[in-house]
Amino acid sequence: MDIPVEIAERKFVYRQDYSRSSIIKIQSIKSAHYLCELNHSHRTFTAKSNFEQYMEGHHLIPLSNQREFLYSLDIYANVICLCPICHRLLHYGIEQEKQSFLEHLFDVRKQRLINSGINIGKKDFLELTM
């Protein structure tokens, strides 16, 4: 309903997270030539920060799984370039709609992940990313 609502009290929220490198994200998007890695034909809009097509960086293996690995997940091999729709698909989509995309991304990135110390099989990868 459209009625006046009192302002909520401010609260302190504390959250511990692994740090993310903005340089890795920016360079990963640039190295993908500002194209969605799930579908190069996806178009967005021109970003005012760089006058390139707007894209988002996505950790293929989420940083929330960092404790499962000996080496950092915030690495070039694990950061992909996605359009906003595909990015939301991987975060919020149903398994049936995202599984084939994740399998493809794993196949493309597997050797780079291994080279970076992230040795994971497809089955375990899908369990972490679905």
Going by C-alpha positions, the residue among 63, 62, 45 that lies closest to residue 54 is 45
Residue-wise pLDDT for 42-73, tens only, equals 999 999 999 999 999 999 999 999 999 999 99
Going by C-alpha positions, the residue among 83, 75, 61, 58 that lies closest to residue 24 is 75
Give kind and range of the element (H or E) at residue 58.
Answer: strand 56-59
For the chain, residues with pLDDT lower than 50 are: none
State the pLDDT at residue 89: 98
**pTM, entire model:** 0.89
Phi, psi at residue 125, to the nearest 5°?
Answer: -60, -50
d(CA 37, CA 76): 14
State the pLDDT at residue 39: 97
State the pLDDT at residue 48: 98
